[in-house]
Structures are given as C-alpha cells and as structure tokens.
Amino acid sequence: MAKLYFKYGAMGSSKTANALMCRFNYIDKHYNVLLWKSSIDTRFENGGKAMVTSRIGLSAPCTKFGTETDLTELYAKQKTTEEKDVIIVDECQFLTPKQVEELKLLSHNLPVICYGLLTNFKTELFAGSKRLVELADSIQEIKSVCRCGRKATVNARFVNGKIATSGAEIEIGADEKYEGMCYWCYQEKLKEN
C-alpha cells in the first residue's frame, strides 16, 4: 500500500536484515525495488559497489545518495515503466528533513519503507528520524533486548571501554563501537565514567 513507513530500532535489532527480507518479499511479488542508503554510511563497499549488508550475512546492491540529493529526482531517474515500484531506505536516520518530505511526496503513489535508528548515542532524536515520526503513516518499533533482558532503547557509544557522552553525532560503526542497551543499564554504565 502506498504509504510512508518508518521502522526503527536500537543498534543490533536487525533493522537491515528486516529491510533486506522486505526487499526479497517485494521482488518475489515482481516489484521493482529501489534500495537506497545514505552515502554517510561508508561500510560494506564491494569492489566500489554500494551494498546494504546485515550482520547476519544478508546483502544486496543499493544506490547511495548524499545529503544534497533530491530524492524525487533520484526516483525519476530510477523509475520503471511498470509502475510497480517500492522504495526501501536503510540507515534513514541520516536523511535530511527535506529528504523525508520528498519521500512523503513519493509515498502518495508507492510504498516508501524506511529503516533506521530513532535516537543517537546521546538519546536525542536524529533530524531525519524526527521528521519521519512527524510525517510517517506507519511507525513500527523493531524490538531488541539489552544484555540484562529488558528492551534495548539506547544506542550507547563506547570509547576506550567507557560510554561516550560527547562527540560528533555521527560516527559510523557497529558492534565495535555501539551497543543497544536498556535505559537502566545505560545509566549504570554512565556511573562508571
């Protein structure tokens, strides 16, 4: 159904795996799937080809876009004549508010499904995620657990074994830098700083 979807979760919640499974489902139903991700995410290049890759080993080629890219123009370049397209965006927290508005316009005629983080390592909303919360027709949390068993909601960044509380909002990494934690374990770790 033509809507703007936002599916978010903490680090390690299988957002990318979900995006790639969603892609497979649409391809299986003969849709033309446009898989996009921000050029801010520099991980998982395959011989210079941009890839969306999950930690469990699923991957697919994608189109990267910059913060200055007009997503309605990008879609116009990639649009098929079949009129049976779907856009899937991974790492959507890196979208600009303007790009989210462009995706909302595109969602009038086709499904646009965005996967990403809600908040940064300081527990503050990313600008793209904030705008998605404001405009999405459907918002769904992809749940994951903290090591204590509670729901992970915080994307804790670690530097030299300690939780970071300052620094650049965007620092690309995965398990080597970040851990999805519940708020209470996060607070306990902050006390160790």
The enclosing domain of 116 has a CATH number of 3.40.50.300
Give the global pTM: 0.92
In a domain, 89, yes or no: yes
In a domain, 157, yes or no: no
- Could you give the residue numbers annotated as active site? 91
Residue type, 69: T
Count of structural domains, the chain: 1
Residue type, 8: Y
* Per-residue model confidence as pLDDT tens for the chain (193 residues): 799 999 999 999 999 999 999 999 999 999 999 999 998 877 766 667 888 989 888 999 999 999 999 999 999 999 876 677 899 999 999 999 999 999 999 999 999 999 999 999 999 999 999 999 999 999 999 999 999 999 999 999 988 888 888 877 777 666 678 899 999 999 998 888 7
In a domain, 155, yes or no: no
Place of tokens 């903290």: 146
| pLDDT of amino acid 183 | 95
Q: Which domain holds residue 17?
A: 4-142
| pLDDT of amino acid 127 | 97
| pLDDT of amino acid 47 | 66
In a domain, 182, yes or no: no
| pLDDT of amino acid 86 | 96
